[in-house]
Every structure is written in C-alpha cells, then in structure tokens.
Chains A and B, each alone.
Chain A
Amino acid sequence: MPSLSQNKLIGKEYWRSLDELANTPEFQEFVHHEFPAHAAEWLQGNRRHFLKIMGASLALAGLAGCSRFPVETLVPYAHRPANRDPGVPVYYTTAMDFGGIGQGMLVTSVDGRPIKVDGNPTHPLNRGGSDFYGQASVLNVYDPDRSRSVMKKNASGEYGEGTWASFESFWKNELAGLKKNSGKGLAVLAQDWSSPSVADMRRRLRKALPDSQWFEYEAVSYDNAREGTRLAFGSPLRVAPELAAAQVIVSFDQDLFVGDPLSVKFARDFAAGRRLTDPETGRQATRMNRLYVVESTFTMTGSHAENSKHRIAVAARDILAVGALLAAELRNQGLSLAADVPAPSAPPPGVAPHVIRAMAQDLLAHRGQCVLVAGGDQPPEMHALTAILNHALGNTGRTVNYYAVPDPDRPTHREAMVQLTEAMRRKEISTLVILGGNPVYNAPVDLAFAQALDHVPTSIHLADYFDETSRLCAWHLPQCHYLENWGDVRTYNGLISIVQPMIEPIFGGRSAIEVLALLIQDPVRGGYEIVQRALGIKATEWRWKKALFDGYVEKTAWLPAHPTISAALLGQRMSDRWKRAAAALSVHNLEVVFRRDSKIYDGRWANNGWLQELPEPMTRLTWDNAALISPKTAQALGIGPHKSHLIQVKIAERVLEIAAYIMPGQPEHSITLPLGYGRTSAGNVGNGAGFDVYTLRTSAAMDYQDGATVTLIGKTYELASTQNHFVIGTIGEKAIAARIPDLIHQGTFLQFLKDPSLGHKKSVAVSLWDEHHFDKGYQWGLAVDLTTCIGCSSCVIACQAENNIPIVGKPQVLLGREMQWLRIDRYFRGPDATSPQAVHEPIMCMQCENAPCEAVCPVGATSTAPDGLNTMTYNRCIGTRYCAVNCPYKVRRFNFLDYNSGNLNNLYEPNLLRKPMNDLVALQKNPQVSIRVRGVMEKCTYCVQRIEVARVVAERENRKIRDGEITPACAQACPSRALVFGNIRDKNSRVAALFRQTRCYGILNYLLFTAPRTRYLPKLWNPNPALPAVENAPLGEQ
C-alpha cells in the first residue's frame, strides 16, 4: 500500500478529490496520527476508534485496490463515494505465495476489512478453487499474536521494543561498515519466493554489495524435482503434470491433493477425468481416469487409488525400486527408454509382480494419455525416472509440461543451509539478515543453526511472528501479511500476479521487498513502487489496472520447455543405490519418513486456529501430529490399539518423544513423522501443539531415514480425533462395516456403464398423509459428487471463514464439541488393515424437507422455509438441543460454552469474570452472519446470507435468480467442483441435472424419509480389470 505522501504518483484527474484532501493540513495530521508506525494505538483504542481507522483503510483499499472506483472522501462517510455502500462487500484480486508457487486469490473485503479469501476464478492455477491454506490465510491478518513491533536485543540479552526508525539508524551505521568491503560478511537467508520483485531487489543488493551472499532455504522443499530433472534432462526444470489429459495416473509418493502448492490444480484436473455426469450439459462420461499410487504414507491421494491393489504401500526408501521395477517391466513389454535404468536385484517387500505388470500394460495402452508423478520426498533419481518414463510414454507436452526455472544455478535448499551454517561457524558472516522463515526451528538439526547464530555478531530477522529464530537474533522486524502490502508472485507456469493489499499493515509490518529496499537504502521504498519498477508497469498504465482486475499479468507465462533426455548419470546413481542396499527393515531397524504436515505444512501455519482444529484429512487428528505406524508394526512394537501411547523414536543419538497413531495402510516398518508441530514460540494457538519432529531431521536425511528404533515409554497421550479412534470395539467395527455401503453408495465404472442407477431403487414408502409439496418458487438443493470429491477439506475452512464458526481448542475437541458445520467423514474399507482404502464423505446439514429437528423444537427455532431450507433462528433458540439429538446426521453444533468471546484458555470461567477476546479477532467476522452466543444451536444454512443477497439483487432487477448465481462457501472453495448448488425445480439447473441421475441418493432417506436436499452421487472406482478388488467386507473404522 502506498504511503500517502506518495499519492502524487497516482493519476491526477482520476484521484483528484483524494489528492485535494491529502494535501490539506488536517488530513496530513490525520495521517500522521493514525497511520503506520502507530499500530499499537489501534489495539489499545476502543472499537469506535478502530472502525474510524478501518474506514480510512477502506478508502485506501479503494485507492490502491482494484482501481475501479474513484474515491472521493475519506473518513467520515459524510458523502458516500459512488458505487460504495457501507456493509456491501467488494472483491479484489490478489495472490499468495505458497511453497514458491503463486496462488491467485480473490478477497472479499467489507468496509476495508478483508474477511474471506477464495481462489481467483480467472487464475490458471485456482480457477476459483482454493485449498485450505488460502482459505485460512485471512485469519492470520487478525492474529493478535503476530509480531507488533521492531524488537531489539540489548546488551543483557533482553528484548525491548524498537522502531523502524531506530532500526534504520542502526542499519545506516552497519551499512557503512559493510560498504567498505563491498558487502563481505553480509549474508541474506531468504525463503523461496517466486516474486519477481524479490529477484529484482536481490539483483540490486548484489550490485550495491557485490560480495554479499544470498541463501534460500525451505524446510519443505521441492528441490528433489529440480535435481531430478537436472539428472534426466541436464538442466533443472519445473514439472507441471496436467492430470486432466491423463487417463492413467501413477503417483510415486506424491500427495497430489492435500498440502501441495499445486493441490488445487491437481484436484481440479483429476476430477475432470473422473466426473461421470457433467452438470453443465447433463452428459454422461464414457471414460474415467485411473489412479495407481505407490506411497509410504497413507495419503489422501492413496485413498483414491482404485482398489487396494492399485495402491502399493512400501517404505519410502523402496519406492525408487518399485519405479525401477515398473521401468523394467515397461521395457520388457517393448517400451524403449532413453536411459539406462537398472532394476534392483530383488523387489522390495510387499510388491506383487502381477500388479507391476498390470500397471505397465495399462500405461502402454495409454501412451500420451498417462502420467507418472513423483513426490517431493523422493530422491532426485525417482524424479529423473518418472521424467524418463513420461518421456518414453510420449507424455511430455501432453500430460506433463516442463518449465525452465528462473534460478537454475542456485544450490539446493539443503546445500544452501549447509554452506551458510559452515560460513557462520567460520565467522565469515558478520551480518545475517533472515528474511522470513524460521531456521532456528526448522533447519536440519545436525547443523545446529541456533549455535551457529552465536558466531554472527549482527543478526536480523524479518518474520510475521516473534518466533524461535527471532528470539535468538539481535533484531526482529515485523513482517506484514500478504494482504497488507504490495508484492508479486509467479505461479507454476511463470504467470505473474500482483499481490494487492487489502488493509494497512495492522501492526506496522513491512514486506520483504520493503526491508530489502531499506537494507540497500534504495530511494524507492514502498512496495507499491518496488513492484511497479520490478514488473516494469506503471500504475497509470492500462496493463496495471487490468492485471489487478484479472489477478494476473497477461503474457507473462513461460512457454513449456522441450527438454531432451540426457541422463548419463542416472544409471550409475541408481545402481549405486542398489549396491548400497542397506539392512532389511525390521522392528529394530525402522524407517522414519519426514513429511510436510497436511495442515500446518512446515510449521508456518502453526498459529492458525482454523488449521490447527481442522481434522487432518486422513487421521482426523486435530491440534497434534503423531507418529503414524502400521497396525502390524505397532503390534510388534507392543503399542496397544486402545490408547495413544507415547513412544521414543531414536536415530543414532537423537531422540524424539511422540504420540503413536496406528494408521491402517501405513507400510510395515516405516513410520511417518509429520513436520511442523512442537512449536515453542508460535503464538498462543500453536505453542505446545504436537511434537517437534525436526529434532530428528538431519541434513543427510531430509526426507527419510532408516536405522530408527522405537521404545514405549509407558505413558499415554490424548490425541484429539474428531472420529472416534480407540474405543470402537469389535461390534462397533462390524456395525460400521455394515453401514458403509448404506451411507456411501459405491460402485465401479464398469457397473455404472451397465446400469447407471447402480442398482439404486427409489424408495417405495407411502406416506399416510398428503406430504407438503415444495412446488413453488426456488427450491434449493446441493449435489455432492463423491467420485470427484477428493476429501481435501478446503470446504471445511471455507465454511468456517464464511460463517464465523469459532474454534474450540483441543480439550473441547476431545469432548466432542468441535463446531465445524461441515465435516468430512472418513471410513476405511478394504480387505484388511494393511491395505485399506479410505472413502470420504462431506456431511453438512441435509436441509431435510421432513426435518426431524424441526418437529421437536419446543420454541420453533428451527423450521423449514418454503424454499426447502431448514432455517435456524438463532435468536429464538433456547438450547434444548433436542434438534441435535434427533438429527440422524448429527450436523448440528451447539455452543456449549461461550466460544465466541474470551479466549480458549478461559472457556470455563464464568462469563462475567472472563477476559474478553481481543477485538482484533472480531474484525475477521463476516458481518452478514450473526455471531452465536452460548447456549445456541447452529448449523449449515447453505450460506443463506448469499442466497438472500442474490434474491435481493434478482428482485431488484425483476428477474429470476440465475443458475450459478449463488454458490455456498463450500462449493466456491471446492477445487474439484464436487459440490453443485442450485434450484432443483429449475429443470435446466446444474443441480437438477445431477439430482435426475438415478444413482443420486439421500443418506438414510430410504429408512427415515427425511427427504434431504443434500443428495449424493455415489463414489465410483475405476479398477483395472486385471486387478479386481479383493472381495471382502469393508474394514470400517480402525
């Protein structure tokens, strides 16, 4: 956001009135008092004061934002600007950098407050969908734990508050010293940003201080793919699988759908090849893609493998061997490979040759229409191997694209960190500037970054939280949120998006590019100008405005590279690996796999309550990570199934204490350890949640390592899972197994082709009386396609953000009081616990026409509206909870305590005595949805506020609401477009097209006659006919 003194850069005729106002002494005074540097005042002030400032920032958002509206006045709204109504949300495009990949976002802003982040419909990665990181990112804007000021360590090692001015005066001295020897001794440790502006500032830094060094480090790195492509093609490339074009997909340990920066795209493309009924046209598909998964952790991707034979669970270190076996089999079947790919002497345990053979046949039958992908945790050889196989199968350019990376020469993140810490130890670094990241927490443990930092006289850390690293640095600088400042990002194919701020930095933070500008004393200081300079576009240009409007800068995408295979080294490196064949895995020689956490990634989202409380999609764990152990291995280790035991994982001399979670589908003797937990300085939300796995992760083995032993330490630990985990018992498991076919209709693609109804019969129940007919006006319905639903949980967070759903904290989750209106049920099925499948079913209020909840409410607080919505009148609810009791789907959520005021740690204090919640948190709330007090029932309403907005608009325009005009938050977020909402009475609507399908069913409708408005399309699988499913009862829950 431009500081107001720079308004002269803005076109005069367009912004005339603001300019006029900005030049008045009163306004300058106002700016001086109210803006940047005084952020602390905001929070100490009262609500009215805050709203005043919000009003100002609204005006600024208009000014700096989408540039569509001329802003005429600032505070107060004595004269309302044209096209701007207080309380009416406006939408801006912006972008978020995640894992070095830009995500295109669309922000909903109300009165200057960004309250919701969604995928930008025009952005090629998102196409309107979003993952839960994007959805949850808005919560961090209002996180009271974010760093609030510059902090400076004094001589006695204590921290005191500083200011940006004090830092700058300090830095000027420092810079003078550095300049004398052209920057020698200065090192910058940055995150892996895709930003062209950062690259530009980096060039300027090198120009100013040629001997300075620049390192990049990410704890969760995608460098293996870079190195793999270097191995296969001779130069590092970015791999972009295009799953939409693929009929056969083979994943080698890549979790495509959750936590990957490209998840949104993968989910959409995967679903596109699986959607059997196109809601737009009503046409039935004649093809369906097929997914094989070779993986070391039971991931969301693995749960979509067609049946238990399409998923090979092997230890992470054996996945390359499976790939090599597949390559050998493909060669046997006549595929010529452009490189020597030696096969291992013996197949790894648990791999059946006939499965490999069938996979190879399937791939060969789909040349040019199949794709192999490898996970970031797999070694470069695996990535090289998939590249070679993709190339040989004719997939390059069809189902997989490669793009040249902008920085081919940089060392890997691991190497960079090794080099940096060595240089620090050698005392070659006198000034270390850490831009973002948290190396003290997440650098490889053997490098002892914290100790190395002792050798650096001046350390400066820019971070959004005063975190583990900040606590050890001489200076801490508050970093602003991406919604608070200008920036830019590149997405996977190089397309640039401008990061557009939505609000003035609440805590006076600055962005990395602004800090870099300060460091080199660049005359251009504001992010706004830096971005324009780096992109070479002026704000006055039409291109700039269009880029802000579209959410990306046109014609900046790279062209796909056309690499040729030159994998001379691969064969040697692979046979070296086979020669180094280590001891077989056993209970005395376990493998540990370090994986990004599905929810908090590398730990950076640790203080985000929504993500902490989001049930991990596979384990359903909240607030913790746990060591995932297969049932058999757990048994061998003596870990009982009835409680969560604390175990000690030991590798060499390093020891980790962590709770064990028995995970069906986990390979034998391989333990997955999710990273990112056990933070000590994350903030009030993230501190103390889970176990810090980084304490085992060394630079030699960043991905997986064998040689681990596990001992029980005889203590138990409470894991808060939202699906019962430990106490099901035999009869419960049997009941679940019997119920799954009843609750989740399933079938195969071949069955579907023969009988599209999948044997689903219409209920023959005859009512004793004339039922109410919902045959007037709009009749809302939601169709959930379980085949395209990947279970990623974006919808859960989207719902939470849209509907002001509070988090309740781990103790409340343990009690079973989580509040999410939308949940994703996960059930395991399959022949046994070692090779299960998982099915996912989103459950929200079914909006029953014969609602069981409605009849039993004594005060009539819940009632079915004429449009079929099961409405909830919060103000009328007295909280008898009878509705929740009588709901067969258990979708109602009750405010057992006052979750919306006060803090999670004082929930049990009487209301009158409680310390109230920080006002800041309230600013995220959606003003269109009421905040529920304690003692009130709540539930999904199909985002009735959005329906009403559309209704008002349509009535004003004297027309019907168009199909697609209303999208509930869940459907909007869904990357795979599995949720379709609309008017079921409108025969041309998309939802009606899905409801018409004979296979469409309502859960338990045949039994309870609830006539739900949320209907499901069955989960369909497309197994290879050569690999039929093992006929057996489903597993049920563990």
Chain B
Amino acid sequence: MTTAITAPIYETGFDNTADDVLRQPVLVTGHATYQEVTRKVCRVAEAPRAPRAWYVCFAISLALLALLMAMIGYELFTGVGVWGNNSPVDWGFPIINFVFWVGIAHAGTLISAILLLFRQKWRTGINRFAEATTVFAVACAGIFPAIHVGRPWFEYWLAPYPNIMGDWPNFLSPLLWDACAVGTYVTVSTLFWYTGMVPDLASLRDRATSRIKHTIYGIFSLGWRGSARQWHIYERANIILAALATALVLGVSSTVSTDFAVSQIPGWHETIFPPYFTAGAIFSGFAIVLALAIPARELFGLKDLITRRHIDNLAKLTLLLGSMVLYVYLMEFVIAWYSGNMYERFAYLNREFGPYWWLGWGILFCNGVVPQVFWFKFARQTWWLAWPAAVLCIMGMWMERFVIVVVSLHRDFLPSSWHMFAPTWIDIGTLAGSFGLFFTLFLLFCRYLPMVAMSEVKAILPQAAVPHGGGQTARSGAKPE
C-alpha cells in the first residue's frame, strides 16, 4: 500500500462529530500514518521522563495508596468498629465503595466487549484505557468485601472446599453469588485486557531501547510475531472473551444488586434492582471514562486518537444511561406508592424528606438532571462543561450507593432501632485511599503500557479502509456505486 497520499488528512481538532449517513465517520485525525500512531502511543511509554504533571499526580496517588494501606492495617488489627457502622446500619462505607467501584468497572467492559460485538469502530480509541479502568476498579472493589467482614482471616470459608469440618458455604446467600460474580469478573476482564494488549506489547518490545524493557515487554508479549495465524487466533480469542464479558456486563451488577434485592429491607426488596444496578453501573463507568479521557487526551497528546467524536459518543451514552437511571428513580417512587405498604412508602418518603434528604435530592440532581446537559452539543464538546458534568455523575453514583445502603438501613421496620450513620475518618480515609490505588495503577498503566490499542486503531485509519486496487478514499469507498 503505497497510496498514503490518497488518504485524506484531517487536522488535529477536526470536528468529526457530524454524522453523515453516507460516509463513515472519521475516527482518527491528524497526520495519522501507521508509524505515526505507533510513535504517538509508544512515545508515552518510551519517554525517559514523564510529564511533570504525571509525577505530581503519581505522588498524590501514591500517598493516598499509603493511606489506604494504613487504614486497612489499622482496621484489620482493631476491628470493623473503627468505621461508622452500627446497628441498624451494619453495612456502611465498605459496601458502598464496593458497589461503586464495581459500577465504575462496567464501562470498560461494555466499551470493549459489547461495542466490539456491535462493530462500533470508534471504541478502538478508548477501549484500552476503558478496560484498564475496569481492571483497576475491580481491584479497588475487591478490597472492600474482603476487609468488610468481621473476621477476614476466615474468609476462605466462603469457598466450597472439602474440609474436615464438613462445612459447606450456603449457596442461598447472595453474598456467595456476589463472590462468584466478582471473581469471574476479575478473571475475565483481566484476561480480556491483557489479551488485547499482546500485539501492542510486542510493538513496545520491538521498539525497546533498553535490555530491561526489552525483556519485560518480551515476556508479556508472549512471543508475538504478528503472523497471520497469530492474528487469527488473537481475533477469535478476543471475540470469545468479548462474548463472555458481555454476559458479565449484565450479570455482575445484577448479581451485586441481589445483595440488596433478595433481602427484605424496604428500599432494597425490589425486582427492578438488577437492570437498575446494571444501568447505574454502566452510567458511572462511562462517566469515569469521560472524566479520564478528557484530561488524558490533553495530557498525553492523544487528541488525534481520542477525537472529539469519542468524547461526543461517550457523552451521548452517558446521557442515555443517566436517563435510564432517572427513569428507575421515578419508577421506584411509583411502585412504592402503588404497593400500598406503609414501610415501603416510608422508605422513599424518608429518602427525600428524612434526615438524609440532601442526598436523596442530590442523586436525583447528579444522576438525573446533570446528564441532561448532554442533549446539547455545546456541552458535549466543551471540556469545562463535560468534565464537571462527568465528575458530578460519578459523585452522584457514589451518593446513590450511600442512599441505597445507609438511608434504607437507618430506618427500617422497627422505629426503636432507627439510628443515624456517620462515617469516621477511617471510613473517609479508606475511600480516599481506594482512589489512590485506582490512580496509582492507572498512572502506572499510562506511563508504561500502550494506552491506546495501536493495532486496532490502525485498522480504522482512513487509509486502512482503502479497498484493494486503490483510487478511492475510504469515504467514497463506502458509497455504493
């Protein structure tokens, strides 16, 4: 293919958001040759020094990670009473954080799996780091159930292993379903992320200038040589993993929701919970991908690969899922009213007018109202509007989990047991620390791994669409003669 000239050149910052049904959208801008893509992506990992901002962010993240370790250490040696949990709010921050992080994880899987199956090619620009958010978010999520229990040193009793006591876990318990779902999720999402990265790791290996880098990237690229057979197997594996992951996108949050839906606490005991949690999870996932993509494309000079169209699409999906979440919120009120059950009705009245009213209205605002700004293209295309909106959505989703867990529990059936919940600084430290873990991992990923799936992006370069024989641009090629 010597016809690079025939490929049109779209300047960096080219507005590729317009939809022309006759043309395939432009997904990569700038002087994007194959070499350019490789260079741009690998440059980040190969640079001897990261941008100053990276060091600042990394230092902060590392400090927060240290805080997390300290908090967990203190908790393990003292007891879960160091948190604000009480009776009746026996579940507090750990469960909130767990559900929150699991939700965050979902967008990555959705982007890389479902959009892959649906042949949404724009996903290639963002799928790598969306998947990375999945893996790191699941890592954060996994901490919380582990430290949440009263006697973590007996956690292995959750596993159905043959033992001399003849004990067996209780498979009726949603917590066990949860453990299985999250365990599967960690496995599949990590595999998916890693499998997808193999060709790019090979590129880094090939370009490595130092022995150490060469060896490390060499080990992790599993001897990738780019043969047609390898590509074939690679594509098949990706599709299989995508199919598995697709089921997980719908399954994991549904399972997590059964922790609540299977119980009989008003505000939890609802059949709408599985789709509700899935929508909420993907919503928060898109919000965080959006919130990360906006600064990342600036910081690492990836504007040509993560284009305005990507941001636009992410914002639109955020709008869609936010609207679904809003629908569920409103439906919950309707069903509570319709049930005629005073305990159920009170749970929702109390959500909006009880002592935590500001959270009740807060989630309606953050998750219901804020995403509606994305109806407007101006908002989708303006970083100082889109980024705060995405951050508000993330905060809203954390608050939603707080509302579900704490606000439902703090006033259940018997008013004598009603009690307020207040987090301790250990709670807050652990939450902050979990962000430290997430960002530490994320920053390391940005620094040392291919942040954008080079091999996949190359497939959607304008010149990649040049049909055999040449002469036609990608756009006109799509036009039926």
Contacts and interface: CB of A to CB of B under 8 A. Distances in A.
Given A898-B79, A911-B77, A877 B414 contact: no
Given A880-B149, A896-B81, A816 B414 contact: no
B160 to A, nearest CB: 11
A388 interface: no
B150 A879 contact: yes
B90 to A, nearest CB: 4
Given A852-B264, A885-B263, A1007-B341, A858 B419 contact: no
A514 interface: no
B303 to A, nearest CB: 47
Interface in A537-563: none
Given A732-B411, A739-B342, A934-B79, A724 B150 contact: no
Contacts of A827: 415-416
Contacts of B220: none
A713 interface: no
A817 B416 contact: no
A499 interface: no
B354 A731 contact: yes
Contact of A881 (B150, B349, B415): B150
B6 interface: no
A817 B81 contact: yes
Contact of B150 (A738, A886, A935, A1037): A935
Given A843-B416, A1036-B415, A895 B265 contact: no
B365 interface: no
Interface string A720-762: 0001100111011001101100110000000000000000000
Contacts of A877: 150-151
User: Which of under 10, 10 to 19, 20 to 34, or 35 or more describes the interface residues of B?
Assistant: 35 or more
B219 to A, nearest CB: 38
A729 B413 contact: no
B341 A724 contact: no
A818 B417 CA distance: 11
Contact of B78 (A815, A857, A909, A937): A909
A75 interface: no
A935 B80 contact: yes
B355 A727 contact: yes
Interface string B58-94: 0000000000000000100111111011111111000
A884 B78 CA distance: 21
B174 interface: yes
B364 to A, nearest CB: 17
Contact of A724 (B78, B259, B349, B418): B418
Nearest to B151: A935
B416 A816 contact: no
A1004 interface: yes
Contacts of A731: 346, 349-350, 353-354
B158 interface: yes
Interface string B349-360: 110011100000
B90 A885 contact: yes
Given A732-B411, A893-B87, A937 B158 contact: no
Interface in A810-866: 812, 815-818, 823, 825-827, 841, 843, 852, 855-860
A895 B87 CA distance: 11
A324 B87 CA distance: 50
A733 to B, nearest CB: 9
Interface stretch (B17-25, B163-171, B330-338, B442-450): B163-171
B87 A817 contact: yes
Given A878-B154, A885-B90, A890 B78 contact: no
B348 to A, nearest CB: 11
Contact of A894 (B150, B168, B409): B150
Interface in A976-1021: 1003-1004, 1007-1008
B342 A735 contact: yes
B416 A732 contact: no
A936 interface: yes
A1008 to B, nearest CB: 6
A224 B262 CA distance: 61
A897 interface: yes
Among A731, A742, A1008, the one with the most B-chain Cβ atoms within 10 Å of its Cβ is: A731
B174 A935 contact: no
Nearest to A738: B342
B378 interface: no
Contacts of B412: 888, 890
Interface in B381-431: 409, 411-420
B172 interface: yes
A765 interface: no
Given A826-B416, A885-B91, A907 B343 contact: no
Nearest to A733: B415
Q: Mostly helix, strand, loop or mixed at chain B's interface?
A: loop
B155 interface: yes
Nearest to A889: B414
Contact of B263 (A856, A860, A893, A1037): A856
Among B168, B346, B353, the one with the most A-chain Cβ atoms within 10 Å of its Cβ is: B346
Among B84, B87, B343, the one with the most A-chain Cβ atoms within 10 Å of its Cβ is: B87
Contacts, number: 196
Given A852-B263, A858-B169, A910-B74, A878 B354 contact: no
A481 interface: no
Contacts of B84: 815
A725 B14 CA distance: 62
A882 interface: yes
A885 B265 contact: yes
B148 interface: yes
A856 B175 contact: yes
B74 A735 contact: no
A724 B342 CA distance: 20
Contacts of A645: none
B77 A912 contact: yes
A1038 to B, nearest CB: 11
Given A857-B170, A936-B150, A1007-B343, A886 B265 contact: yes
B176 interface: yes
Nearest to B75: A910
A664 to B, nearest CB: 15
B179 interface: yes
Nearest to A913: B77
Contacts of A884: 87-88, 90
B345 to A, nearest CB: 9
Nearest to B172: A855
A769 interface: no
A45 B77 CA distance: 29
B361 interface: no
Contacts of A855: 170, 172-173, 262
A422 to B, nearest CB: 51
Contacts of B265: 885-886, 888
B157 interface: yes
A895 B173 contact: no
A731 B352 CA distance: 10
A588 interface: no
A631 B151 CA distance: 46
A203 interface: no
A908 B149 CA distance: 17
Contacts of A885: 88, 90-91, 263, 265, 409
12 contacts: A729-B354, A843-B414, A855-B262, A857-B170, A858-B179, A878-B155, A881-B85, A885-B88, A885-B91, A886-B265, A898-B79, A908-B82
6 residue pairs, one from A and one from B, having the closest CB atoms: A879-B150, A935-B150, A896-B81, A816-B86, A897-B81, A825-B416
Interface of A: 723-724, 727-729, 731-732, 735-736, 738-739, 742-743, 812, 815-818, 823, 825-827, 841, 843, 852, 855-860, 876-882, 884-886, 888-890, 892-898, 907-912, 933-937, 1003-1004, 1007-1008, 1036-1037
Given A852-B264, A855-B173, A892-B87, 16 more contacts: A728-B418, A729-B355, A731-B353, A735-B342, A742-B342, A816-B88, A816-B89, A823-B416, A855-B172, A857-B170, A858-B175, A860-B168, A878-B152, A880-B148, A885-B88, A888-B414
